[in-house]
Homo-oligomer: A and B are copies of this chain.
Amino acid sequence: MKSFNKIAIIGVGLIGGSIGLAVKKRRLAKQVVGVFRRPSSLKKALKARAIDRGTLDTAEGVSGADLVIIATPVGLVPAMAKKAMPHMAKGAILTDVGSVKGFVEREVVGSVSQGIKFVGSHPMAGSEKSGVEFAEADLFKGALTILTRTRRTDLAALRRIESFWKALGSRVKILSPEEHDARVALVSHLPHMVAQSLCLILDETSEPYAASGFKDTTRIAASDPAMWTDIAATNAPAIEKALDLLIRDLCWLKLLLSEGDVRSIGARINQAKRIRERLEGGAKGRRA
Partner-B contacts on A (CB < 8 A): 124-125, 143-144, 146, 173, 183-184, 186-188, 190-203, 205-223, 225-226, 228-229, 232-233, 236, 239-240, 242-247, 249-251, 253-254, 257-258, 260, 262, 265-266, 268-273, 275-280, 282-283, 285-288
Q: Which of B183, B200, B206, B268 contacts A200 (CB 8 A)?
A: B268
Q: Which of B195, B239, B247, B268 contacts A272 (CB 8 A)?
A: B195
Select the residue from A197, A213, A214, A221 with max chain B CB neighbours within 10 A.
A213
* Closest CB in chain B relative to A266 CB, distance in Å: 4
* Closest CB in chain B relative to A154 CB, distance in Å: 25
Which B residue sits closest to A236, measured CB to CB?
Answer: B257
Question: For the complex, what is the distance from the CA of A173 to the CA of B186, rounded to whole Å?
Answer: 38
Q: Which of B211, B216, B246, B269 contacts A201 (CB 8 A)?
A: B246
Which B residue sits closest to A265, measured CB to CB?
Answer: B232
Contact B124–A211 (Cβ < 8 Å) = yes
| Copies of this protein in the complex | 2
19 contacts between A and B (CB under 8 A): A143-B211, A173-B209, A183-B206, A187-B202, A196-B269, A198-B246, A201-B245, A207-B278, A207-B279, A209-B283, A210-B279, A213-B220, A215-B279, A217-B217, A226-B266, A229-B266, A236-B257, A243-B257, A247-B254
Q: Which residues of B contact A257 (CB under 8 A)?
A: 232, 236, 239-240, 243
Contact B247–A283 (Cβ < 8 Å) = no
* Closest CB in chain B relative to A128 CB, distance in Å: 9
Q: Which residues of B contact A221 (CB under 8 A)?
A: 272-273, 275-276
Contact A225–B269 (Cβ < 8 Å) = yes
Contact A198–B202 (Cβ < 8 Å) = no
Contact A225–B273 (Cβ < 8 Å) = yes
* Closest CB in chain B relative to A219 CB, distance in Å: 5
Contact A287–B213 (Cβ < 8 Å) = yes
Which B residue sits closest to A281, measured CB to CB?
Answer: B207
Question: For the complex, what is the distance from the CA of A228 to the CA of B202, rounded to whole Å?
Answer: 21
Which B residue sits closest to A194, measured CB to CB?
Answer: B194
Contact B269–A209 (Cβ < 8 Å) = no
Contact B250–A197 (Cβ < 8 Å) = yes
Contact A272–B210 (Cβ < 8 Å) = no
Q: Which residues of B contact A211 (CB under 8 A)?
A: 124-125, 143-144, 187-188, 283, 285-288
Contact B279–A258 (Cβ < 8 Å) = no
Q: Which residues of B contact A192 (CB under 8 A)?
A: 213
Which B residue sits closest to A182, measured CB to CB?
Answer: B206
Contact B222–A276 (Cβ < 8 Å) = yes
Contact A253–B197 (Cβ < 8 Å) = yes
Question: For the complex, what is the distance from the CA of A26 to the CA of B242, rounded to whole Å?
Answer: 50
Q: Which residues of B contact A262 (CB under 8 A)?
A: 229, 232-233
